[in-house]
Structure 1
Amino acid sequence: MSLDTPRTGTPLERLTHHEALQRLEHERNSRLTQLRAIDEAGTDAEEQVMSAQKDTIRRVLAEVEAAFARIRDGSYGICRACAKPIPVERLEILPYAKLCVPCRRDTA
C-alpha cells in the first residue's frame, strides 16, 4: 500500500494513542543514545562531522517532542498542511511526521 493513501475500512486507520507514544519514546531514546555515543567518541578531526550529526539528532528530537505535544492537543496524525489524516503506514515509519507524503513533496 502506498504511503500517499490512507487505509480505509480497517480498524488500523490510525495509530492508537499508546502505539504512537511507544514509537515516539523509542525515537527519543534512540536519538539520546546517539548523542551520548557521539559525546563519548571522537577526535578533533571528527569533531566537525560529529557536530553536524548532533545538530541533526537534536533537530529530530525537537520534532519528536513536537509530536508528543500534538498527541496531547489531539492533532497527532493530522497533516499540518492539508488537515487530512496522515496514513498509519507513514506514522509507523516516521512517528513524528507532521505532513502527509503529498504535502511533504510539495514542501521539498
Structure 2
Amino acid sequence: MSLDTPRIEARPERLTAHEALQRLEHERNSRLTQLQAIHEAGHGAEEQMMSAQKDTINRVLNEIEAAFTRIHNGSYGICLGCSTHIPVERLEILPYTRFCVPCQRTTA
C-alpha cells in the first residue's frame, strides 16, 4: 500500500448496542443539561421562547427513552415505516431516530 493512498475503513452496517447506548446516554445528558440551564435562567421576557425550547427538549427526551426501549427489545435501528435497517450514518447523527430518511420525509 502506498503512503499516498488514503486508508478507507469499512463502516459497519449497524451500530452495536453498546455504541447506541453510549450515543443515547450522551443525547439524554445533553438535553437534561439544557433543561437545567433553562430552569436556572428563570422567568423573563423570553419566557415563551424558553417554554418552546422546553417542549422540544422534552419531546427529544421521550424519543431517546423510546430508543432505549427499542435497544432492549431488539428493534433498534429498524425503520418503523418500512422495516428496513436505518443506515448507521443516520444513527450516528440521530441515535434516537425511528425512521430512515425516506420514511421520515413522508411522516413530517
CA distance in 1, matches of 2:13, 2:44: 48
1:15 partner amino acid: L
| 1:103 alignment partner in structure 2 | 103
2:18 partner amino acid: H
Change over 3 Å in CA distance of 1:42–1:83 after alignment to 2? same
For 1:15, what is the secondary structure of its paired residue? coil
| 1:75 alignment partner in structure 2 | 75
For 1:44, what is the secondary structure of its paired residue? coil
Larger Rg: 2
Deviation at 1:19, TM superposition (A): 0.3
Deviation at 1:11, TM superposition (A): 5.8
- The runs of at least 4 consecutive aligned structure 1 residues that moved more than 3 Å come to none
CA distance in 2, matches of 1:41, 1:11: 42
Pair 1:93 & 2:86 matched: no
Q: Using CA pairs below 8 Å that are at least 6 residues apart, which structure has the higher relative contact order?
A: 1
Q: Identity over aligned residues, as a percent?
A: 75
Gaps of 5+ in 1: 1-9
Deviation at 1:43, TM superposition (A): 3.5
Deviation at 1:62, TM superposition (A): 0.1
Aligned length: 99
For 2:15, what is the secondary structure of its paired residue? coil
Deviation at 1:106, TM superposition (A): 1.3
CA distance in 1, matches of 2:43, 2:76: 40
Note the alpha carbon deviations across 1:72-102, whole angstroms, 9 max, x for none: 0000000001000000000000000100001
2:100 partner amino acid: C
Deviation at 1:42, TM superposition (A): 4.0
TM-score, scaled to structure 2: 0.88
CA distance in 1, matches of 2:62, 2:22: 17
TM-score, scaled to structure 1: 0.88
